[in-house]
Structure 1
Amino acid sequence: MSAVADDYLKSIYHHTEWQDARITPSRLATELGLAPSSVTEMVRKLAAQGLVSHRRYGPISLTVEGQRRAAAIVRRHRLIETWLVQEYGYTWDEVHDEAEILEHALSDRLLDRIDERLGHPRFDPHGDAIPDADGTIERVPFVQLRDAAPGHRGRILRVSDRDPELLRELERLGVDVGREATVTGTGALRLDGEPITLPRDAEHAIWLSI
């Protein structure tokens, strides 16, 4: 499998991790920053290899084998992110791009040693679950902040790593995975009794426990 194909599988996997709708070819093209024609051709190749299921103009889903392969790639990426934060002092807004490079370079043996060194972590710095070696993950019931009603109280489960600048601003405000938060209104939380107003679009980037 090429690194390009791995990126496709990873993007399809990510899309349904925190919501149920399957990804469309046009959305996948947007996620990858590629022309729709290029995505259509690669999806056709992945389908021929038995890694995705797709009908013309319809959404894309991973097959059992595609899910296994995607989970292995995601495991690599998230273990590397955790390793960079815990062992090398990277911040959570810095690790994504580094992991994108390293996930294709490290051997399975080194990855296993990193996992052992870190104590077999279950979640990466952003709260995303790290699949086990067999592809299974641990997940608890969740709600995206934009869908949480005022008064909802829960633990911050995940903060999207899509926007490094937003991550830096949320860190400055004290928003972090594992903290208890109470929703006080649209784009507003209370952390440890202190009200905070979140940056624009933050309600799309934070998930809370139910």
Structure 2
Amino acid sequence: MAGNSVAIDDYLKTIYHHTEWQNDPITPSQLAGELSLAPSTVTEMVQKLAAQGLVSHRPYGPVSLTDAGRLRAASIIRRHRLIETWLVREFGYAWDEVHDEAEVLEHTISDRLLAGIDARLGHPRFDPHGDAIPDADGAVDRAPFVLLAAAHIGHSGRVLRVSDRDPALLRALEGHGIDVGHTLVVAGRDAVRVDGGATVELPAGAADAVWLTV
């Protein structure tokens, strides 16, 4: 039963993540790709989630979270991001090292320990990658944003979020001084000025992994 609960959480998290920084709903094929599962397996689970009132879905259409599904997804994401923040602040982990640890711990720590971590950290609103930490009601506070790849040349914005999908890219960006809170000016298709300094060439994939204030 616990294993099934973890699987449900993974589905709900993936659906939640998909629309967190863009508006297009996820399709079953995209969900299968994100989870590295066979489409037939995903179709079966989506039907089960719909029966439980956690997602809405029609045949061949996209998958969306219901209010109940979004609240459950936000709860597990809150755990994950608080743990990531805790590992960085209290244990000296680098921002490229925390994702896999949090994936394990989010399913094992108690609500009491999570509340203690939250209080210890001063109730943070964002994790080390700039992702918003949902509150206990699932609400998030996020500034208007633009993907770096979509920002026009000359745009100046503070780094709101860096995707944690690729640890090597995180390390490369950090080497260029690109981190949450720093200011970038778009100088070209794959070039930026960091905090008013010299222009730097972006690593491959960086423009699709960094979000700026508008």
Q: TM-score range by the shorter chain?
A: over 0.9
SS of the equivalent of 1:65 reads helix
Which among 39, 42, 53 is matched to residue 36 of structure 1? Answer: 39
Distance 1:144 1:96 in 2: 22
1:8 alignment counterpart: 11
SS of the equivalent of 1:203 reads helix
**Are 2:20 and 1:17 aligned?**
yes
Distance 1:119 1:175 in 2: 25
Shift of 1:187: 1.2
Distance 1:29 1:89 in 2: 34
Shift of 1:25: 0.4
Shift of 1:110: 0.5
2:156 alignment counterpart: 153
Spell out, residue by residue over 1:48-79, the C-alpha distance to the aligned partner (whole angstroms, 9 max, x if none).
00000000110000000001000001000000
Shift of 1:8: 0.3
Spell out, residue by residue over 1:155-197, the C-alpha distance to the aligned partner (whole angstroms, 9 max, x if none).
0000000001101111111110001110001111101222111
For normalisation by structure 1, the TM-score amounts to 0.99
Q: Which runs of 4+ in 1 moved over 4 A?
A: none
Distance 1:56 1:107 in 2: 38
SS of the equivalent of 1:2 reads helix
Distance 2:78 2:22 in 1: 19
For normalisation by structure 2, the TM-score amounts to 0.97
Distance 1:194 1:60 in 2: 44
Higher mean C-alpha displacement, 174-183 vs 188-197: 188-197
**Are 2:94 and 1:91 aligned?**
yes
2:58 alignment counterpart: 55
**Are 2:76 and 1:73 aligned?**
yes
Which among 200, 205, 210 is matched to residue 209 of structure 2? Answer: 205
One-letter code aligned to 1:168: R
Gaps of 5+ in 1: none
Distance 1:89 1:101 in 2: 18
Which among 109, 118, 123 is matched to residue 120 of structure 1? Answer: 123
Which among 177, 180, 202 is matched to residue 180 of structure 2? Answer: 177
1:139 alignment counterpart: 142
CA RMSD in angstroms comes to 0.7
Equivalent pairs counted in the alignment come to 210
Distance 1:42 1:90 in 2: 35
One-letter code aligned to 2:209: A
SS of the equivalent of 1:170 reads helix
Distance 1:34 1:71 in 2: 23
Distance 1:205 1:52 in 2: 27
Shift of 1:107: 0.6
Higher mean C-alpha displacement, 192-201 vs 159-168: 192-201
Shift of 1:125: 0.4
Distance 1:29 1:187 in 2: 30
